[in-house]
């Protein structure tokens, strides 16, 4: 892979965490190191939705955090639109929008203020930002809540505001960890519909999920991660190989478990 | 991180739509500071607790304390002393009224009554007992005539209680009365006889300044530190705890801008809190000084110092606050929660209090310039110097420099901490 339409190239990305004594106790393990991501490689093409699929603890969030330059890989690298997450994080940051349920909006402020605030952090021209805000807030029905403190918003409204704010700078790549986590079906649908819309508008989306049906419905390409390693990556049809995605996952999972034993 | 490589390189190419580099890198710094100010000033609860309450509380506490001290250490003008005399001589009687002592005369035979008065004196329930020899006037005459041996010089006994303000005052009044009577009889020489002259040449500044230089530095240090505690852990550990700082860290904002923006804006806010406390203190000063016996003058204590003194004080305060905010920010960035930040900060608070308390024992500012390179101690000594009119401008300059350099170091370390995933995503 890695043709001219490649926008994200991940090569041998690895990350090992030191487990604190507390964490060892919590997870009932004596290992001191946790290999969260293990030589992970995959490619994402421009204008597609790529889904990282995997069970809990597979290393999805860790991978996305490395792509978003929040944590540094131990080895390997990822090129985001040609910029290295290791050597050029600043360039990467201005090209991506990163969204996870762990990244919160300050509850004290209103969505409108936070949108302007992040527009400034991204150096977006104020006039452009204002137009963009109007469009996004209308799209998500935030309009009437734009001057309400985030603390008083419902979970769904918060998620929609977070989404709008994470793309304040109109990034080419949107990285989204568990996009529908904690949302009701209606809000989840608004979010996934919007992601499809962004893709159709030429944006690239990398998301993580453990919900196979969501991946089947939304993603153009998927990668299945088990234990920090990439089991298979490719277009949805390639990965499914004529099967149901979930069945395919169980096959791969058993195969990997068998190898480990 | 390695963004030094690309900080300036390759900035033109492939800019995301809508981004404009033309407006410079300071935009992010300004945005961070503006957000901190907005967070503070639009929160009524925060404004009340950090800006209004400290000043009001200090004013109230010190005014009450001042009034209490006043009643403790001075005797009001219309107080009637409870004084008794045994064998009060006829020669002295006419002088007592002028001295303000209205003696109750006691029969020398009633030993029981005398014992009772002494008991009351020890219980602070009576002010003075004067016991004269029965033949005081006769013996005085023979002593003056020079035909009596010195052993027969009449002795007067004054019983009083030095820990009882009224009694101590009555005692000195009686001494003064007897002393001037003695001088009138035998004017060998006199001391400070002209009652129209003020012989104590202490200046109003000195006396008030001495009081202030003792108490104020510690007070100021505690006020400044508490002000810093009021804002920094909430803004740094709080943002970390609530996960809002990571949201900022995924933007292209430079980490040093985040660190510097926070330290500067939080210092400004803490400075306002400090100003509130300072105004409260100055407003309560007349009562405090009045109580200590120092002449409070007509206006508040504020008028004691010159504009230059105040400017020096302000500079010292600002540099101290920057350092405090820097230090507390580091501890807060290290902590996982606001609560943990509070625990980490408390040893520092104790240190500041102890060093501040040392200032109480310094009569004037430290003269060895090298000491002004010790943070916290240097601020206390500068304040001692300013309040006691003994400061050295070089010492203040060195203090400012030291504090600014250290605050800068704090910002650099804080930047490193914001760059560290272990700090930002500690588990
Ligand atoms: N900061 C950290 N310190 C130590 N261990 C960590 C840290 N972050 C993640 N891990 C560990 O790394 C592994 C991968 O975690 P990660 O969050 O990436 O998984 P995930 O695929 O996102 O799982 P989930 O579906 O539960 O979100 C887990 O075992 C986790 O406990
Ligand atoms: Mg996860």
The tens digit of pLDDT for each residue in B124-146 reads 899 999 999 988 888 888 877 77
The answer to whether A225 touches A58, Cβ cutoff 8 Å, is yes
The answer to whether A124 touches B254, Cβ cutoff 8 Å, is no
DSSP A181: T
| Beta carbons within 8 Å of A182's beta carbon, 6+ residues apart | A101, A155, A159
- pLDDT tens for each residue of A165-205: 999 999 999 999 999 988 899 999 999 999 999 999 999 99
The answer to whether B279 touches B56, Cβ cutoff 8 Å, is no
Asked if B16 lies within 8 A of A104 by C-beta distance, the reply is no
What string of DSSP letters covers B385-408? HHHTT---HHHHHHHHHHHHHHHH
CA contacts within 13 A on the Cβ side of A23: 10
Which ligand has the shortest distance to the CA of A53?
Answer: 1
Q: Whose CA is nearest to atom 27 of ligand 1?
A: A56
Q: Is the pLDDT of residue A234 over 60?
A: yes
Q: How far apart are CA B406 and CA B378, in angstroms?
A: 13
Into how many domains does chain A fold? Answer: 1
**Residue of A25, A28, A62 with the most ligand 1 atoms within 8 Å of its CB, for mutation:** A62
* Token code pair at residue A192: 């996934």
Q: Which chain B residues are Cβ-neighbours of A120 within 8 angstroms?
A: 27-28, 30-31
Q: Which chain A residues are Cβ-neighbours of B7 within 8 angstroms?
A: 90
Q: Which atom of ligand 1 is nearest to the CA of A58?
A: 21
Nearest to A210 by CA among A54, A102, A101: A54
Q: Whose CA is nearest to atom 8 of ligand 1?
A: A62
Higher pLDDT, B161 or B282: B161
Q: How far apart are CA B423 and CA B258, in angstroms?
A: 15
What string of DSSP letters covers B78-125? T----EEEES--TTTHHHHHHHT--EEEE-TT-HHHHHHHHHHHHTTS
Quick check: is A80 in a domain?
yes
Q: Is the pLDDT of residue A3 over 70?
A: no
Strands A49-53 and A33-45: unpaired
Residue of A72, A87, A169 with shortest CB distance to B16: A169
CA contacts within 13 A on the Cβ side of A232: 18
Q: How far apart are CA B368 and CA A5, in angstroms?
A: 70
Percent of chain A residues topping a pLDDT of 90 = 77
Q: Is the pLDDT of residue B158 over 50?
A: yes
Asked if A70 lies within 8 A of B421 by C-beta distance, the reply is yes
Quick check: is A118 in a domain?
no
Q: Which chain B residues are Cβ-neighbours of A86 within 8 angstroms?
A: 2
- pLDDT tens for each residue of B187-243: 777 777 776 777 777 666 666 666 666 777 888 898 899 889 989 999 999 999 998
Residue of A91, A105, A124 with shortest CB distance to B10: A91
Question: For the CA atoms of A188, A191, A194, A199, what is the dihedral angle to 10 degrees?
Answer: -100
Q: How far apart are CA A68 and CA A81, in angstroms?
A: 13
Q: Is A15 helix (H, G, I), strand (E, B) or coil?
A: strand
Count of pairs with CB atoms under 8 A, one residue in A, one in B: 116
Asked if A106 lies within 8 A of B244 by C-beta distance, the reply is yes
The label of the residue with tokens 């052993």 reads B151
Tell me, in angstroms, the distance from the centre of ligand 1 to residue A58's CA.
7
- pLDDT tens for each residue of B113-122: 999 999 999 9
- pLDDT tens for each residue of A58-89: 999 999 999 999 999 999 999 999 999 999 99
Helix, strand and coil in chain B, % to nearest 5: 70, 5, 30
Q: How far apart are CA B290 and CA B207, in angstroms?
A: 11
Nearest to B133 by CA among B186, B183, B89: B89
**Helix (H) or strand (E) segment spanning residue B279:** helix B255-292
Interface of B with A (CB under 8 A): 1-3, 5-7, 10, 14-21, 23, 27-28, 30-32, 35, 38-39, 43, 239, 242-244, 246-254, 421, 424-425, 427
Ligand 1 pocket: which residues have CB below 6 Å? Answer: A 17, 19, 23, 34, 36, 54, 56-62, 210; B 425, 427
**Helices B307-334/B377-387 angle, 10° precision:** 160
Nearest to B255 by CA among A109, A90, A79: A90
Q: How far apart are CA B152 and CA B146, in angstroms?
A: 11
DSSP A53: E
Asked if A103 lies within 8 A of B250 by C-beta distance, the reply is yes
The answer to whether B170 touches B124, Cβ cutoff 8 Å, is no
Name the residue in chain A with its Cα closest to that of B424: A70
Q: Which chain A residues are Cβ-neighbours of B254 within 8 angstroms?
A: 90
Which ligand has the shortest distance to the CA of B425?
Answer: 1
pLDDT of residue B359: 78
- pLDDT tens for each residue of B174-201: 998 888 888 888 877 777 777 677 777 7
The label of the residue with tokens 């990997």 reads A256
Mean per-residue pLDDT, A100-120: 93
* Token code pair at residue A68: 């978003």
CATH number at residue A78: 3.40.50.300
CB-neighbour burial class of residue B183 (10 A; exposed 0-12, middle 13-18, buried 19+): middle
The C-alpha angle with vertex B384 and arms to B378 and B390, in degrees rounded to 5, equals 105
DSSP A20: P
pLDDT of residue B352: 94
Q: Is the pLDDT of residue B264 over 90?
A: yes
Quick check: is A159 in a domain?
no
Q: How far apart are CA A132 and CA A164, in angstroms?
A: 9
| Beta carbons within 8 Å of A154's beta carbon, 6+ residues apart | none
Asked if A93 lies within 8 A of B252 by C-beta distance, the reply is yes
Lowest mean pLDDT among A209-213, B80-84, B216-220: B216-220
Which ligand has the shortest distance to the CA of A58?
Answer: 1
CA contacts within 13 A on the Cβ side of B377: 11
DSSP B15: P
Q: How far apart are CA B109 and CA B86, in angstroms?
A: 9
Q: How far apart are CA B158 and CA A195, in angstroms?
A: 99
A43 DSSP β-pair partners: A9
Banded model confidence at residue B20, pLDDT cuts 50, 70, 90: very low
Q: How far apart are CA B118 and CA B110, in angstroms?
A: 13
* Token code pair at residue B324: 């405090």
Asked if A68 lies within 8 A of B248 by C-beta distance, the reply is no
Asked if B425 lies within 8 A of A71 by C-beta distance, the reply is yes
- Full residue range of the structural domain in which residue A23 is found: 1-95+173-184+204-261
Q: How far apart are CA B275 and CA B224, in angstroms?
A: 9
Q: Which chain A residues are Cβ-neighbours of B27 within 8 angstroms?
A: 120, 123
* Token code pair at residue A48: 């597609």
* Token code pair at residue A197: 């819309």
Tell me, in angstroms, the distance from the centre of ligand 1 to residue A170's CA.
29
CA torsion sign, A65 to A68 to A70 to A71?
Answer: positive
Asked if B39 lies within 8 A of A105 by C-beta distance, the reply is no
């Amino acid at each position: 892979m890695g043709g001219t339409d490649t926008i994200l190239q991940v090569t041998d990305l690895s990350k090992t965490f030191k487990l604190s004594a507390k964490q060892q106790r919590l997870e009932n393990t004596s290992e001191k190191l946790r290999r969260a991501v293990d030589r992970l490689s995959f490619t994402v093409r421009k204008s597609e939705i790529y889904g990282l699929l995997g069970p809990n603890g597979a290393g999805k969030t860790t991978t996305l955090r490395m792509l978003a330059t929040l944590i540094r890989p131990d080895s390997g690298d990822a090129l985001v639109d040609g910029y290295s997450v290791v050597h050029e994080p600043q360039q990467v940051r201005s090209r991506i929008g990163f969204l996870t349920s762990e990244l919160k909006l300050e509850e004290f402020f209103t969505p409108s203020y936070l949108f302007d605030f992040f527009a400034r952090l991204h150096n977006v021209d104020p006039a452009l930002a204002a137009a963009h805000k109007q469009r996004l807030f209308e799209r998500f029905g935030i309009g009437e809540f734009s001057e309400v403190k985030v603390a008083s918003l419902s979970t769904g409204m918060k998620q929609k505001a977070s989404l709008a704010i994470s793309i304040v700078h109109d990034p080419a790549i949107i990285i989204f960890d568990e996009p529908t986590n904690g949302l009701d079906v209606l809000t989840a649908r608004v979010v996934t519909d919007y992601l499809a819309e962004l893709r159709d508008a030429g944006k690239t989306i990398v998301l993580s999920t453990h919900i196979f049906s969501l991946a089947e419905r939304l993603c153009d390409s998927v990668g299945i991660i088990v234990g920090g390693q990439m089991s298979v990556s490719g277009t949805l049809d390639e990965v499914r190989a004529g099967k149901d995605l979930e069945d395919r996952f169980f096959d791969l999972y058993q195969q990997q478990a068998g190898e480990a034993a | 991180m390695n963004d030094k490589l690309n900080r300036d390189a390759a900035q033109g190419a492939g800019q995301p739509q809508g981004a404009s580099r033309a407006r410079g890198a300071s935009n992010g710094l300004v945005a961070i500071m503006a957000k901190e100010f907005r967070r503070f000033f639009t929160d009524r609860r925060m404004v009340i607790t950090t800006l209004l309450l400290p000043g009001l509380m200090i004013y109230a506490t010190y005014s009450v304390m001042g009034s209490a001290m006043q009643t403790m250490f001075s005797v009001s003008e219309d107080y009637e002393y409870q004084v008794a005399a045994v064998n009060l001589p006829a020669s002295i009687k006419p002088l007592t009224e002028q001295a303000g002592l209205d003696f109750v005369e006691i029969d020398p035979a009633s030993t029981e009554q005398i014992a009772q008065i002494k008991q009351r004196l020890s219980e602070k329930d009576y002010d003075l007992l004067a016991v004269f020899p029965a033949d005081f006037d006769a013996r005085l005459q023979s002593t003056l005539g020079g035909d009596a041996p010195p052993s027969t010089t009449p002795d007067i006994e004054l019983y009083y209680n030095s820990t009882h303000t009224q009694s101590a005052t009555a005692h000195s009044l009686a001494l003064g009365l007897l002393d001037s009577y003695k001088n009138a009889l035998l004017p060998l020489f006199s001391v400070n006889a002209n009652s129209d002259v003020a012989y104590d040449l202490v200046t109003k500044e000195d006396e008030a300044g001495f009081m202030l230089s003792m108490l104020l530095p510690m007070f100021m240090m505690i006020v400044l530190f508490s002000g810093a505690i009021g804002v920094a852990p909430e803004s740094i550990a709080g943002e970390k705890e609530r996960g809002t700082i990571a949201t900022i860290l995924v933007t292209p904002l430079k980490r040093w801008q985040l660190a510097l923006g926070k330290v500067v804006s939080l210092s400004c806010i803490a400075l306002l809190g400090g100003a509130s406390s300072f105004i409260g203190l100055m407003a309560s000063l007349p009562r405090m000084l009045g109580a200590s016996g120092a002449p409070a003058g007509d206006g508040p204590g504020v008028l004691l110092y010159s504009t230059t003194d105040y400017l020096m004080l302000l500079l010292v305060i600002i540099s101290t606050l920057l350092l405090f905010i820097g230090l507390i920010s580091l501890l807060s960035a290290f902590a996982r929660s606001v609560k943990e930040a509070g625990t980490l900060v408390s040893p520092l608070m104790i240190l500041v209090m102890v060093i501040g308390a040392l200032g109480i024992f310094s009569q004037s500012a430290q003269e060895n310039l090298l000491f002004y390179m010790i943070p916290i101690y240097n601020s206390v000594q500068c304040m001692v110097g300013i309040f006691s009119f003994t400061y050295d401008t070089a010492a203040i300059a060195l203090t400012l420099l030291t504090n600014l350099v250290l605050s800068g170091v704090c910002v650099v370390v804080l930047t490193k901490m914001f760059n560290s995933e272990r700090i930002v995503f500690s588990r």
